[in-house]
């Protein structure tokens, strides 16, 4: 069986790790529960954040096996969500124009939709890529 193209970039993972005390790299690699824990504990008071620098390669491999590559690039969508999520740019990129405009007008539905997308973006992209 040929190796599957990675869906998640190690480089993007390390860039998000810089903000790792917020859990962003864990959300990116499809680990929303621990991402939430990192968010509320500042990366387990920094200890978990430091340990994660050594775990990013394995988290990337796991994410690449779990999620489906396709027309929507995970890396672009995650960068848009992380830095412009309250404006809905990630949703517009995925072709979800109506909710993207709603996010733009309501700052990510007052931040709650933004947090929801951190939990579900990988699955949203996988569904779109599977149907293409």
CB count in 10 Å sphere of residue 24: 23
The ranges assigned to domains in the chain are 7-66, 71-132
The pLDDT profile of the chain, 132 residues, written as one tens digit per residue, is: 344 678 999 999 999 999 877 899 999 999 999 999 999 999 999 999 999 999 999 999 999 999 999 999 999 999 999 999 999 999 999 999 999 999 999 999 999 999 999 999 999 999 999 997
Locate the DSSP E strands across 16-122.
Answer: none
Alpha-carbon gap, residue 56 to 11, rounded angstroms: 10
pTM: 0.90
Task: Dig out the tokens for 66 from the structure.
Answer: 């779990």
Nearest C-alpha neighbor of 22 from the set 12, 9, 35, 8: 35
């Amino acid at each position: 069986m040929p190796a599957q193209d990675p869906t998640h970039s190690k480089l993007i993972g390390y860039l998000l790790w810089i903000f790792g005390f917020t859990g962003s790299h864990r959300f990116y690699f499809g680990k929303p529960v621990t991402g939430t824990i990192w968010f509320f504990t500042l990366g387990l008071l920094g200890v978990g954040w430091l340990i994660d620098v050594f775990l990013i390669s394995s988290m990337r491999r796991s994410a690449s096996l779990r999620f489906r590559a396709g027309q929507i690039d995970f890396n672009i969508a995650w960068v848009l969500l992380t830095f412009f999520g309250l404006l809905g740019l990630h949703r517009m990129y995925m072709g979800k124009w109506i909710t993207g405009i709603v996010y733009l007008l309501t700052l990510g539905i007052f931040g709650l939709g933004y947090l929801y997308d951190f939990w579900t973006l990988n699955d949203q992209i996988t569904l779109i890529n599977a149907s293409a």
